[in-house]
């Protein structure tokens, strides 16, 4: 079986415009969630983590061509360009595939005021994919995954399978979503938004904070493309369904438990050094995760959620949080789970309450979403 | 690895076909909603949650019911059964309906029961709930039906033992235009069944 390596990555979020800047703020435990009072998004105030518009424009101006791009597409183009600049992987090669992960893409183009700025089919995800393909002059049609909040983890699993089957040597996985009136009002209608920055796994948690951003991961079967000191391998992964409820997580964590079991099945003795949870800070999600981790015998493993830093970035979350996990592994730093004070789940976990150094050679990253979907990946670090 | 199309279902233009044979025809209905409710009744489906679903989920649900009827009694392992679907318009039909509920002004009233269907994979979730299917599930978006990509991916899932059976195909709904093409894929054990590969699937899709 062909091994699949993490070759390069990038993040653009409220914490910064590249992986390094994101790491700096993350390791300093600085969160990017702010109170939003602009009634464009919601009649009432809420909390969200936003990408700075001016910096995005500046970054984009450095790479732009003569086509017009939407904000969603600019995020993707900037991040993919950043990641590609770190490697000699040829995006113009038939051996390189782009996979885009997003829940809502250009959904803001449905707004009355924005409707006429672009052609009417631009609201489609496939249309954004065409724009991205042309921008990078890629010979392959990008694959698009739109599978709720597991999209970014699922995209890595789909990428791995496309490399293992021998169809492609390299896959550029990019996950992006934005904070829009559409998603803000939707989550608010579910009463899922906290009025304060979210507090994953905490006793007083009362909902999620929305976030936006983009991240890119370049996966390859070719280790010689690597430039980092350590080798990160995507060992295994699995996607499952709870078959329980379309908008509520399963009571016994069955789907997530199964995804974890499938992920660990190839090597059941794998020692997991760190778990990066989905940890949205809704009452039900965090409780469900704690049950699934407990059933998997993982209650002692240090665990955090990055949602306290950047909110829930939806289709980007799985990619952004995987990069943050790799950055943690690279620095052997277990990063504090921001927003957590005291245990608010029935199956207590080993939540990371302050930054501490530890040898991290393996990481389990999980995600869950509407539609009952769950996903898990196992990442391993080895010296080069 | 040799795989077979154990059964396939198509829904389009007032007609439902199973393995190429028409099993329901009603071109008299004015819109999809009336057509699909009529199909639901005449095909003796009983599942009250059906009426709460959006159009994309209703389409996938009725197609999957007719496809999986008889099949699910065969003791297929539910944790090894996958659902891999694709379409062109994602959930945009419902997205547009939802957007109307959040137009600033007096009519502003975002509804959670509409919002939840603004994700295409909810249609997969509904089929999973109905049949207790726990396996691999992924929703892809592509401009046109891409049999190469979809078939190669499903074959890879079998090779990697991520699934031992799989519901796959195209599930598209936009502005009352609909097209469902769902197939049940299993290991090739019955000589009279069509072999599952990209060319065959493309031919079936085009023939309709």
Asked if residue A291 and residue A152 are part of one domain, the reply reads no
CA atoms within 13 A on the CB side of B114: 19
pLDDT at B107 exceeding the cut of 90: no
State whether A373 and B118 contact (CB < 8 Å): no
Q: Nearest by CB to B92, which of A123, A144, A258? A: A123
**Alpha-carbon gap: A321 to the closest alpha carbon of chain B (Å):** 20
pLDDT tens for each residue of B127-184: 999 999 999 999 999 999 999 999 999 999 999 999 999 999 999 999 999 999 999 9
Alpha carbons B48 and B46: distance in angstroms, whole number: 6
Q: What is the domain-level CATH number for residue B181?
A: 3.40.47.10
User: Please, what is the average pLDDT of chain B?
Assistant: 96
Which structure tokens are listed for A13? 């979020």
Q: How far apart are CA B159 and CA A95, in angstroms?
A: 21
CATH number of the domain enclosing A211: 3.40.47.10
CB contact under 8 A, B125 and A246: yes
Decide if B205 touches A, using CB distance below 8 A.
no
Residue with tokens 């052609």: A119
Do A277 and A347 belong together in one domain?
Answer: yes
0.95 surpassed by complex ipTM: yes
CB contact under 8 A, B122 and A244: no
Q: Residue B74: what pLDDT? A: 84
Tokens read off for A46: 């809420």
Q: Last residue of a domain, which of A184, A199, A225? A: A225
* Greatest Cα pair distance in chain B: 63
- 3-state SS, B63-87, equals HHHHHHCCHHHHCCCHHHEEEEEEE
Q: Element (H or E) spanning B7, and its range?
A: strand B3-12
Residues B17 and B24: their CA atoms lie apart, in Å, by: 7
Indicate if A89 and A110 belong to the same structural domain: yes
Per residue in B41-81, pLDDT (tens digit) is: 999 999 999 999 999 999 999 999 999 998 887 889 999 99
The domain containing residue A266 runs over which residues? 230-383
Nearest to A146 among B90, B112, B137 (CB): B90
Work out how many domains chain A is built from and give that number: 2
What the block records as the tokens of A156 is 């890595």
Q: Which residues of A touch B124 (CB under 8 A)?
A: 241, 371, 373
* Chain B residues 55-84 within an 8 A CB cutoff of chain A: 78-79, 83
Tell me the residue range of the domain where B61 lies: 3-207
Whether residues A46 and A96 share a domain: the answer is yes
A220 shares its domain with A235: no
Cα distance between residue A300 and residue A307, in whole Å: 21
Digit-by-digit pLDDT tens for chain A (384 residues) are 789 999 999 999 999 999 999 999 999 999 999 999 999 999 999 999 999 999 999 999 999 999 999 999 999 999 999 999 999 999 999 999 999 999 999 999 999 999 999 999 999 999 999 999 999 999 999 999 999 999 999 999 999 999 999 999 999 999 999 999 999 999 999 999 999 999 999 999 999 999 999 999 999 999 887 777 899 999 999 999 999 999 999 999 999 999 999 999 988 888 999 999 999 999 999 999 999 999 999 999 999 999 999 999 999 999 999 999 999 999 999 999 999 999 999 999 999 999 999 999 999 999 999 999 999 999 999 988
Look at residue B1 in the predicted model and tell me its pLDDT.
83
Distance, in Å, from the CA atom of A53 to the CA atom of A57, rounded to the nearest integer, reads 6
* Helix ranges (DSSP H) in chain A: 19-27, 53-61, 71-85, 125-136, 151-164, 181-189, 254-264, 283-295, 307-310, 317-330
pTM summary value:
0.98
My answer on whether A256 and A194 are in the same domain is no
CA angle B130, B134, B135 (to 5 degrees): 125
Q: What span, in angstroms and rounded, lies between the C-alpha atoms of B120 and A148?
A: 8
């Amino acid at each position: 079986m062909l091994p699949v390596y993490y070759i390069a990555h990038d993040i653009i979020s409220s914490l910064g415009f590249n992986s390094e800047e994101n790491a700096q703020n993350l390791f300093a435990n600085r969160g990017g969630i702010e109170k939003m009072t602009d009634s464009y998004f919601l009649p009432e105030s809420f909390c969200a983590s936003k990408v700075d518009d001016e910096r995005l424009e500046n970054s984009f101006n450095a790479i732009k061509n003569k086509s017009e791009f939407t904000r969603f597409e600019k995020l993707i183009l900037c991040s993919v360009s950043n990641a590609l600049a770190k490697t000699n992987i040829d995006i113009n090669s038939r051996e390189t595939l782009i996979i885009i992960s997003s829940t809502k893409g250009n959904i803001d183009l449905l707004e009355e005021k924005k409707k006429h700025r672009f052609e009417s089919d631009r609201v489609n995800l496939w249309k954004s994919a065409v724009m991205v393909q042309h921008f990078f002059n890629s010979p392959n049609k990008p694959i698009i995954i739109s599978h709720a909040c597991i999209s970014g983890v699922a995209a890595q699993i789909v990428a791995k399978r496309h490399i293992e089957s021998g169809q492609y040597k390299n896959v550029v996985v990019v996950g992006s979503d934005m904070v829009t009136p559409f998603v803000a009002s939707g989550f608010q209608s579910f009463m899922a938004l906290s009025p304060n920055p979210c507090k994953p796994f905490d006793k007083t948690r009362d909902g999620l904070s929305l976030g936006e951003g983009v991240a890119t991961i370049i996966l390859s079967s070719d280790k010689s493309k690597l430039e980092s000191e350590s080798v990160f391998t995507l060992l295994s992964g699995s996607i499952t369904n709870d078959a329980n409820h379309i908008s509520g997580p399963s009571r016994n964590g069955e789907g997530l438990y199964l995804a974890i079991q499938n992920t660990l099945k190839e090597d059941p003795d794998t020692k997991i050094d760190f778990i990066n949870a989905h940890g949205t800070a809704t009452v039900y999600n965090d409780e469900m995760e704690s049950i699934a981790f407990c059933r998997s015998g993982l209650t002692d493993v240090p665990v955090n959620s990055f949602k306290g830093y950047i909110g829930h970035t939806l289709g980007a979350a799985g990619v952004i949080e995987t990069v943050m996990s790799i950055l943690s592994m690279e620095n052997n730093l277990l990063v504090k789970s921001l927003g957590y004070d005291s245990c608010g789940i029935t199956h207590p976990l080993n939540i990371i309450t302050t930054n501490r150094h530890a040898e991290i050679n393996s990481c389990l990253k999980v995600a869950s979403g509407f539609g009952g979907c769950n996903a898990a990946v196992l990442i391993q670090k080895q010296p080069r | 690895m040799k795989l077979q199309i154990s059964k396939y279902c198509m829904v389009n233009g007032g007609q439902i076909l199973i393995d190429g044979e028409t099993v329901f025809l009603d071109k008299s209905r004015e819109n999809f909603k009336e057509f699909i409710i009529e199909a639901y009744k005449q095909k003796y489906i009983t599942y009250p949650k059906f009426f709460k679903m959006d159009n994309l989920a209703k389409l996938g649900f009725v197609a999957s019911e007719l496809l999986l009827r008889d099949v699910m009694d065969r003791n297929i392992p539910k944790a090894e059964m996958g659902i891999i679907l694709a379409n062109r318009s994602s959930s945009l039909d419902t997205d547009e309906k939802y957007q109307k509920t959040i137009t600033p002004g007096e009519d502003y009233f975002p509804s959670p029961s509409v919002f939840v269907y603004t994700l295409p994979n909810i249609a997969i979730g509904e089929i999973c709930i109905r049949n207790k299917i726990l396996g691999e599930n992924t929703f892809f978006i592509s401009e046109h039906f891409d049999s190469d990509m979809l078939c190669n991916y499903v074959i890879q899932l079998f090779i990697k033992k991520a699934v031992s059976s799989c519901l796959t195909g195209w599930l598209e709904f936009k502005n009352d235009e609909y097209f469902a093409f769902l197939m049940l894929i299993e290991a090739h054990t019955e000589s009279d069944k069509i072999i599952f590969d990209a060319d065959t699937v493309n031919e079936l899709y085009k023939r309709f």
